A and B are shown apart, each in its own frame.
Chain A
Amino acid sequence: MRAVFPVLTVVTVLVSLWYLMLIPMNSHQAALEAERAGVVVSPETARDRRDLSGWAVALRNPGPVLGGVWAQERPRLPAPHQVAIELWETTVEKKITSKRSLVFHGWITLSATLLGFAIGTVMGIVLAVGIVYNRAMDLSVMPWAIASQTIPILAIAPMVIVVLNSVGLQGLVPKSIISAYLSFFPVVVGMVTGLRSPDGSQMDLMRTYSAGGGQVFWKLRLPASLPYLFASLKIGIAASLVGAIVGELPTGAVRGLGARMLAGSYYGQTVQIWSALFAAAICAAVLVGIVGLIQRATLRRMGLA
């Protein structure tokens, strides 16, 4: 509970800044609307105002601007309360089967995220075990894993979608694979470090018992790696969500948070874009939070936290 006050302070500052920035961002539009309503603004035409900065328009027409920047139909920057209302209307007040429900779109993206996260985690762990136990893999896999992460995911995503579509896979699976592509990497890195974390005397102890390879893995390396794994999973699940959203962008998908954002940008629906953005951010926070809870429970049971 001690975190509440600092968090609220930061939120207040950010929201205040956001409201302040509405003035320069939306002043041109506000002046235009005032002009159309018959109010005399200065300069008189939109053309003359075009080269003025947002702040300059606001200073010259304080009345119309301050009256009109907060609740426009298609603002450049929507106000926080507009986004909040849109979020409320598209989650709570819409049936979740509706095409306009963010819960509906959120679930589409979330299911791809979770499947991708599962694939990425399993792949990451398998690769890490290979790297630790196989010298050839140790020397060869890591450079490729690192190289894979230097390629922009936006460049790869369309190719994955097209290639998989040609073998008859579409919808959930291609998006999950793009999502897994982002999430396996932190798992590999964390797991390799974790599996190698037992020190010399812990390994020697196992040798004095003449323990087999499997016993060393299950009784020493794996438990020692769990704290590292959980740190990686937190990064991995957030990356999975990003991957799932990116996977919806280049494909003309009509469902999912990414599709909502893309459609919003086609039609200038900034409120819709921002509400989809916030829905994604809230999903990410909840997912990371859930992984964090599992981490706490597991490590506490192991006596490590």
Chain B
Amino acid sequence: MTVISASNLDLTFQTNDGPVHALKDVSLEIGKGEFVSFIGPSGCGKTTFLRCIAGLEQATGGTLRVNGMTPDEARKARAYGYVFQAAGLYPWRTIARNIALPLEIMGYSKADQAERIERVLSLVDLDGFGGKFPWQLSGGMQQRASIARALAFDADILLMDEPFGALDEIIRDQLNEALLSLWARTEKTIGFVTHSIPEAVYLSTKIVVMSPRPGRITDVIESPLPKERPLEIRDTPEFIEIAHRVRDGLRAGHDHV
């Protein structure tokens, strides 16, 4: 079942230096329960595409459907949770109250809020940290809390914009593993923007390779890797082969320029 479908999507920003083609002729189908990574160099439109899906940017051409609705309708129907590059926790709220924020806005009852906060805290392995303030947590724990915040309400889609971009390699590996097991348990559809080839290959069922000027899709790779993925899978020939293909796709995108 298709959850997100884009066809011939265009987005042109008007700037003082003339029009910038952030997205050109982007067509993509994302099915329910898929884990889709968007990878490409800066300016390839991967974040812009994610923001279009979220209804935070308006496409200037083509059609985009999220759960069969326009992105704006989907946003108003609270169809997705969004995780930003910076954890963006409100510093005056404890972790639990940060997770409660979307629940308060969406009008969940107090009892329901408490129950959901407990559940998502344990989902991201932060049991017992609900009473802490954000500054009392490490960067990795803050990002886990922001993922918990996006999971707290009933959205089937999780959009993540380079959520681990600012974290070190070791923490990143841990969070990637945790994210995979979380995805397996929650069966959400995930859109994930990244700079890292190993991260994209390790996490995804589908890898979308993009290139800049104009922002477009150059390759879509369906991953043959099994759903069950230990970290060691990154040393297998299959993994290395996909990584090669991604790298080739990125290089081909550059040759066009």
CB-CB under 8 A from B1, the residues of chain A are none
Flag whether B49 is at the interface (Cβ < 8 A): no
| B-side contacts of A158, CB under 8 Å | none
As a 0/1 sequence over residues 73 to 110 of chain B, the CB contacts with chain A under 8 angstroms (1 = contact) are 00110101110111010111110000001101110000
Q: Is there a chain B Cβ closer than 8 Å to A210's Cβ?
A: yes
Nearest chain-B residue to A302 (Cβ)? B92
A206–B101 Cα distance when bound, in Å, is 9
A208 to B85, CA, bound (A): 15
Nearest A-chain residue to B149, judged by Cβ: A205
Q: Kindly state whether residue A303 has any CB partner on chain B within 8 Å.
A: yes
* Cβ-defined partner of B75 (8 Å) among A202, A207, A302: A207
**A201 close to B91 (CB less than 8 A):** no
Q: Which B residues are CB-close (under 8 A) to A304? A: 91-92
Residues of A within 8 A of B81 (CB): 208
In the bound complex, residues from chain B placing their C-beta under 8 Å from that of A207 are 55-56, 75
Known: A201-B86, A219-B101, A219-B105. A209 touches B91 (CB 8 A): no
**Given contacts A208-B56, A209-B106, A211-B105, A202 and B88 within 8 Å (CB-CB):** yes
User: Interface residue tally of chain B, by bracket?
Assistant: 20 to 34
A230 to chain B, nearest CB (A): 13
Q: Is the interface of B mostly helix, strand, loop or mixed?
A: loop
C-alpha gap A168/B78 in the complex (Å)? 58
B13 within 8 A of A: no
List residues of B (170-229) whose CB comes within 8 Å of A's CBs.
none
Interface string of A177-217 (1 = CB under 8 A from B): 00000000000000000000000011011111111000100
A219 touches B133 (CB 8 A): no
A205:B106 contact, CB within 8 angstroms: no
Asked if A208 and B54 sit within 8 Å, CB to CB, the answer is yes
Question: What's the least CB distance linking A295 to chain B, in Å?
Answer: 14
Taking CB atoms, residues of chain A closer than 8 Å to B93 are: 303
Across the interface, name the chain A residue whose C-beta is closest to B155. Answer: A208
Contact between A303 and B84 (Cβ–Cβ < 8 Å)?
A: no
List of B residues within 8 angstroms of A211 by Cβ? 105
Closest A residue to B161 by CB, please name it. A201
9 pairs of residues in contact across A and B, judged by CB atoms under 8 Å: A201-B86, A206-B105, A207-B55, A207-B56, A208-B82, A209-B78, A224-B92, A226-B92, A302-B92
**Residues of A in contact with B (beta carbons under 8 Å apart):** 201-202, 204-211, 215, 219-220, 223-224, 226, 302-304
